[in-house]
Amino acid sequence: MRLITFTESGTTRIGILDGESVVDLSAASPDLPREMVAFLEAGDSAMDAARSALEAGGPRLALADIHLESPILRPPKILAVGLNYADHVAEAGMDTPKYPMIFNKQSTSAHPPNEPFHLPRASPALDYEGELAVVIGKRCRHVPQERAYEVVAGYTICNDVSVRDWQIRVPTFTMGKSWDTHCPLGPAIVSADEVPDPHSLDLRTWVNGELRQSSNTKHLIFKVPALIEHLSTAFTLEPGDVIPTGTPSGVGAVMKPPKFLQAGDVVKIAISGIGELENGVIEEPENTVRIG
């Protein structure tokens, strides 16, 4: 089941992507929450109701007639993992981490599939990172690895867009990883039952049709259960939290010379069984200035 958030006729709500059509859950199952975090919080019964709506084969909207939003408009937390593929650790000239290297992307960086993200006015060093992202489905704490999959609602794609000069000029990554529009997600959350093994997925990234990243999630250093155990040792994970699991080699910053993104570029990330996430790049618009 491919869960989406979309806007149509002026309202934003959740649905299920089914090929080129969409099941509008607010019409098919009116008692369900219309917002993804609330839907995930409603747990297995909501998932079952959504699955019934899909199988009932009721009226559909055409994918072409809706606007896709970030599947989670504002994730409670976005907990990203750095240096989690050996080949990326090598290209970055770093040592293999002993512990997962966690950093936050701010909730406000979540961005829809298909909409362009911003080349900042304040930096030319814009880069992409194709990543598998885990979506948490249950409020949880102290989850042992062997029970980790119980708290996973599903998986999506994340472009962990990075502003490299801001990322590395101080010891923490936060300022370089959290610019508005710099966390494209989607297009859908693929429910966990359709992803029996998240560590066997081909991951590829293209820029303007040129293949830049080609790997497989089997190369993750810290696997999904280890990440969930590690994170939940410290704090509560909540429905709608997103964990981008790290990127393989092939980012623009380490090319010689570096190939940073330019306005007009198009970044496409494909993960087998999950989908394709494609976003263009535009100059940061003048109207991002907002005071009061």
Measured CA to CA, the distance from residue 227 to residue 101 in angstroms comes to: 10
Structure tokens that stand for 154 in this block: 């599903």
Residue identified by tokens 């406000």 is: 108
When binding is defined by CB under 5 A, the residue of 159, 205, 213, 247 that contacts Zn ion is 247
The answer to whether residue 249 forms part of the interface with Zn ion (CB under 5 A) is no
- Residues making up the chain, counted from first to last: 292
Give the rounded distance of the alpha carbon of 107 from its chain centre.
12
- Segment interacting with Zn ion (CB under 5 A) among 32-40, 149-157, 215-223, 243-251: 243-251
Write each residue from 12 to 31 as x if it is in contact with Zn ion (CB under 5 A), else as -, in one continuous string: --------------------
Shortest Cβ distance from residue 246 to Zn ion (Å)? 6
Measured CA to CA, the distance from residue 53 to residue 23 in angstroms comes to: 8
Query: For the CA atoms of the chain, what is the radius of gyration?
Result: 18
The answer to whether residue 127 forms part of the interface with Zn ion (CB under 5 A) is no
The answer to whether residue 213 forms part of the interface with Zn ion (CB under 5 A) is no
Give the rounded distance of the alpha carbon of 139 from its chain centre.
19
- Segment interacting with Zn ion (CB under 5 A) among 108-116, 136-144, 233-241, 246-254: 246-254
Nearer to Zn ion (CB atom), residue 109 or residue 247? 247
When binding is defined by CB under 5 A, the residue of 129, 265, 278, 284 that contacts Zn ion is 129
**Residues near Zn ion (CB under 5 A), total:** 3
Shortest Cβ distance from residue 81 to Zn ion (Å)? 7
CB 70 within 8 A of CB 133: no
Write each residue from 84 to 123 as x if it is in contact with Zn ion (CB under 5 A), else as -, in one continuous string: ----------------------------------------
User: Which residue from 195, 208, 187 is spatially nearest to 114, judged by alpha carbons?
Assistant: 187
Shortest Cβ distance from residue 123 to Zn ion (Å)? 17
Other CB atoms closer than 10 Å to residue 65's CB: what's the count?
Answer: 11
Q: Shortest Cβ contact with Zn ion: which residue? A: 160
C-alpha atoms less than 13 angstroms from C-alpha of 288 in its C-beta half-sphere: 14
- Segment interacting with Zn ion (CB under 5 A) among 27-35, 158-166, 206-214, 226-234: 158-166
Shortest Cβ distance from residue 270 to Zn ion (Å)? 17
Measured CA to CA, the distance from residue 6 to residue 103 in angstroms comes to: 28
Give the rounded distance of the alpha carbon of 102 from its chain centre.
15
When binding is defined by CB under 5 A, the residue of 24, 69, 127, 160 that contacts Zn ion is 160
The answer to whether residue 278 forms part of the interface with Zn ion (CB under 5 A) is no
Q: Please give the single-letter amino acid code of residue 172.
A: T
The answer to whether residue 69 forms part of the interface with Zn ion (CB under 5 A) is no
Other CB atoms closer than 10 Å to residue 78's CB: what's the count?
Answer: 27
- Segment interacting with Zn ion (CB under 5 A) among 28-36, 96-104, 135-143, 239-247: 239-247
Measured CA to CA, the distance from residue 2 to residue 157 in angstroms comes to: 12
Nearer to Zn ion (CB atom), residue 232 or residue 247? 247
Residues that bind Zn ion (CB under 5 A): 129, 160, 247
